[in-house]
Structure 1
Amino acid sequence: MTTIYIDESGFTGDDLYNPDQRYFVIASTLIGDDEAEQILRRCFPRYQGPEFKFTNIWKRGTNRNGLRSFAQEVPGLADRVFVYIIDKRFSLLIKMFDYLVEPGFYEAELDWYADGWGMRYMNVVHRDLLRHGSEELYDETVRLWDAFARSPSEATLASFAAHVEATIAASAPPLSSMFDLLRKGLMHFRATNPKLEDFADSSEIQVTSVFSTMFYWRQQRSEDFDLVHDESSAFLKQRGLWEAMLRDDVEPQLIQSSNGSKVELPLRVRSTTGVRSQDSAAVQLCDVLAGFAGKAAPGFGDKPKDPFVLELVMEGAGELVQGGVMPHELYIEGPPRRREGPDAVDQMVDLLRPHLDQMAQDRAGHE
């Protein structure tokens, strides 16, 4: 049995369009309390406070040498640390195409998710929005989708649809073609979602990020897991979703992630325990790692704009093993392959069936 510790940074609930908190990070380690405390005290010997918190470390200039020391520790810890980073703006773009465009591919018997094709296509969308459009167009598109996702109604959907139409009229390919896909997707979405108020939880990223973190560790390790997290996290407010993801009464099977990698279910996470962060140096270490990764996130794909962050990346923090939902320069090289059997979403829906059925019963009970 191996214990995995996690903590997070940048969680803003369903408010994914939040320029002040662009990145959401889950940091996880296999490092226990005793070793974690040694690392933190070695790097930040003058730190004062009941627990090590990245926000306190970052805002005090006297901790800069400590952060340099911490960055230098990273390469030696890299095989026991994983950070999962979500660029929330890019995530909104992906969710938009998942709900509006992917269903058309599915009906055409094409597998959007196989071999990571959908993620590679979203890298194309990200690139072309910036290359042929603008930061302002990108922001307005995801802002309007976020407004609908957080408050689904005819009015918020109409505002998004009007933006799509205006962009088609004002642009040329490839932008006009991209937004035409969204227009066609909106027609299908309206036809298949007559009760917009039931379009709920589409902005969920917290539980799915923890699941993706366990997905990574299951690819690395064969033993069962215990999971320990900060009890103040909102993570287990969606206990039903988490328990459905971990259920053992599924046939052993390979499930595919958005990047095309696979892992066998069930994940075999045997316990999930919340602890007071001040009582766990291991959770505090995850807090520091998550906070730092959030600062460094823009530099994992390019050079950081903050010279001090760049220095820390060069000192060793760049060796952090990381994954997540971030744009990359990996693009499609042709159409998706034909769908053969259940795709990644079909598999996830099957896994979550008890949770989804309970949600449907709860909605019916309130009508």
Structure 2
Amino acid sequence: MTCYRIDESGYTGFDLINADQRFQGASAIAIENDEAARLIREHFPRLQAGELKYRSLSRRPGNHERLLRLLRDIHKDFECVTYVCDKRYLLTLMLVDYAVEPFYYERGHDLYVDGRTYAMASLLYTAGPTFFGHEGFGELLTAFQLAVKEKSPLSRIRLVSAAKNIDWRQLEEILGPVAMACPDCWQAIATPGVNTDAAWIVLQSLISRMEAMSEEPYRVEHDQSKNLVAYNALIKKFIGHHDEIEFQTTEVASLKFPLKLTEVIQVDSKLSPAVQLADIMIGAAIEGASMMAGLRSGGLDPEEVYSIYSDDQFIHMSPMIDFEENRRFRKGSRSSEMIDYFSRHFFD
């Protein structure tokens, strides 16, 4: 049975505004441990550490070319995928999903058709700091994140105040429902189980690709790290869900239950060269995104890293301000149905 080894990076739970961890993601690779060990010996024959870790290796410029060659071999010879999301954009999208969309739904407008919520979030994310100032826009996102976590009257007041304290009428169609304290929107925010944890977003994207790559049942192994506890619990819920249903999320991605994924196992990464390769993959992707955003320097050339991926080996969630392209890419998606379905079946 095929086994995908996965690893994650950038997980901060409900906090999507963490200044030190702007991006979150995960990688999966179908490779056996003996083959992974061979690759590691080939590219790092003098490795003294007991475990291959991207962060440690990338600090030394002398390792950069070796890392690039290893990544090229991985993506040339093995089934693999990497997912990266901009967490601040994801939080903005969640704000639209819960603090804006219900207002329009109650008035007969479906913002989920053809990715309208993504377009609205992209506009808010891109123009918000300019229209409202970095501090004002940052407080809006902070207040929303806190409201989703606490679901208290005080956090509701802070969210409404954050919208009213900026010139929200510059984007009235988006922020009007927030500033006017729309009760339908607050009901969505206060719904038990609604949270800003990005783990299910990352997993849904990663699993949809593994499902597409696998013709037969497969299993997953991942590290025993604390951050992966949330991933492990969600994967088990996905595996245990046997209802027959399929969601088309974009023109190239869908998710169908029951999954072909049958088992998830936690392992010690020190004993799994394959999991170590997944660490190399996600480490390079997250570092590249951080460097392109001007948040980090000194790592691998991000242009060289991203040139390695084929179209089906890299998935990202980031703003798309080409609204016509966004509409085409998400035409016919069933995002609203999937969000409702996941809320009912996977979130307590």
TM-score when normalising by structure 2? 0.84
Give yes or no for contact 2:163–2:175 (8 Å, CA) kept in 1.
Answer: yes
How many Å separate the matches in 2 of 1:319 and 1:42?
A: 19
State the partner residue of 2:285.
293
1:244 equivalent among 224, 237, 246: 237
Aligned pairs for 1:147-296 (under 5 A) are: 147-168=146-167, 173=170, 175-184=171-180, 186-190=182-186, 192=187, 196=190, 199-200=192-193, 202-237=195-230, 241-251=234-244, 253-257=245-249, 261-296=253-288
Q: CA deviation at 1:94?
A: 1.0
State the partner residue of 1:8.
8
* 1:37 aligned onto 2:37: yes
Determine helix, strand or coil for the equivalent of 1:167: coil
Task: Provide the aligned length of Structure 1 versus Structure 2.
Answer: 343
Determine helix, strand or coil for the equivalent of 1:16: coil
What code does the residue aligned with 2:10 have? Answer: G
- Structure 1 stretch displaced more, 290-299 or 67-76: 67-76
How many Å separate the matches in 2 of 1:226 and 1:142?
A: 37
Determine helix, strand or coil for the equivalent of 2:164: helix
State the partner residue of 1:344.
335
Aligned pairs for 1:15-54 (under 5 A) are: 15-54=15-54
How many Å separate the matches in 1 of 2:127 and 2:120?
A: 11
How many Å separate the matches in 2 of 1:270 and 1:103?
A: 36
How many Å separate the matches in 2 of 1:75 and 1:167?
A: 46
Give the 3 Å change call, closer, same or farther, for CA 267–106 of structure 1 in structure 2: farther
State the partner residue of 2:303.
313
Q: CA deviation at 1:231?
A: 2.1
Give yes or no for contact 2:222–2:265 (8 Å, CA) kept in 1.
Answer: yes
Give yes or no for contact 1:231–1:275 (8 Å, CA) kept in 2.
Answer: yes
Task: Give the gaps of 5 or more residues in structure 1.
Answer: 360-367
For residues 147-172 of structure 1, give each alpha carbon's deviation from its aligned partner in whole angstroms, at most 9, with x where no partner exists.
3333332222212211101113xx65
Give yes or no for contact 2:221–2:265 (8 Å, CA) kept in 1.
Answer: yes
Give yes or no for contact 2:290–2:296 (8 Å, CA) kept in 1.
Answer: no
Determine helix, strand or coil for the equivalent of 1:163: helix
What code does the residue aligned with 1:327 have? Answer: P
Task: Give the gaps of 5 or more residues in structure 2.
Answer: none
Give yes or no for contact 1:6–1:28 (8 Å, CA) kept in 2.
Answer: yes
Determine helix, strand or coil for the equivalent of 1:255: strand
How many Å separate the matches in 2 of 1:158 and 1:107?
A: 22
State the partner residue of 1:115.
114
Q: CA deviation at 1:177?
A: 4.0
- Structure 1 stretch displaced more, 106-115 or 223-232: 106-115
| Identical residues among aligned pairs (%) | 22
Q: CA deviation at 1:66?
A: 2.5
